[in-house]
Amino acid sequence: AAAVILGLLCLLLLTGLITLMVRLQASYNNLTEERNQLQTSYNNLTEERDQLQTKRNDLQRKIEGWEYFRGSFYYVSSTKKTWQQSRDYCLQKGADLMIINSKEEQVCICDYANQFKKYMWIGLTDSQTEGTWKWVDGTLLMTKSYWTSGEPNGGTHENCGDIKNYDATNSWNDESCSLSLNWVCERKHLQ
């Protein structure tokens, strides 16, 4: 009798364990499916957010006349000013004259300049110390630069940088800061 009771208890225990395992497996499968659905929803929402951000940036750019390229917005002027007047304009817009940090940025700005056939001020000057070229944010011009052959050559009379040879990658020129040229502003965010 004890053996039969023990056998029945073992059978009940085994049945309970099997039932529990089946329920756990079903719960695991449901949770896995729910996780996959959530991941798909997350991916869709992320893609939709990115598309909305792009549309927002495009709209702001078109409204305000700013062009977006690799994390910055650029404004190419339609009028001419001296280098300082150009910089003042940019500063009033929450920007500064363009700082060129890469070959891609240089090619991009040359494309703009070539499109409009304009000489344009950039944020480069040696007005503090002759021959020591600095960007408007105070950083020194390092070894990589895009001077036109023979430039800079103006000595103390040409202390501001511009894009002059807009149909070439090496397009920088030093110019008298009092000359009136078009200019390029750069800012990281549109307000």
Same domain, 111 and 32: no
pLDDT score, position 63: 59
Same domain, 18 and 101: no
Decide if 72 contacts 188 (C-beta within 8 A): yes
Domain span at 133: 66-187
pLDDT score, position 62: 62
pLDDT tops 80 at residue 143: no
Residue range 87-101, pLDDT digits in tens: 999 999 889 999 998
- Mean pLDDT (whole number) for 78-93: 96
Of residues 166 and 14, more confidence is placed in: 14
Q: How far apart are CA 74 and CA 66, in angstroms?
A: 5
Of 97, 142, 87, the C-alpha closest to 123 is 97
Same domain, 103 and 169: yes
Same domain, 34 and 122: no
Same domain, 17 and 40: yes
Q: How many domains does the chain contain in total?
A: 2
Same domain, 81 and 173: yes
pLDDT tops 80 at residue 149: yes
Same domain, 84 and 21: no
Is the pTM value of this prediction over 0.75?
A: no
Residue range 116-126, pLDDT digits in tens: 678 899 999 99
Same domain, 88 and 59: no
pLDDT tops 60 at residue 190: no
Same domain, 115 and 175: yes
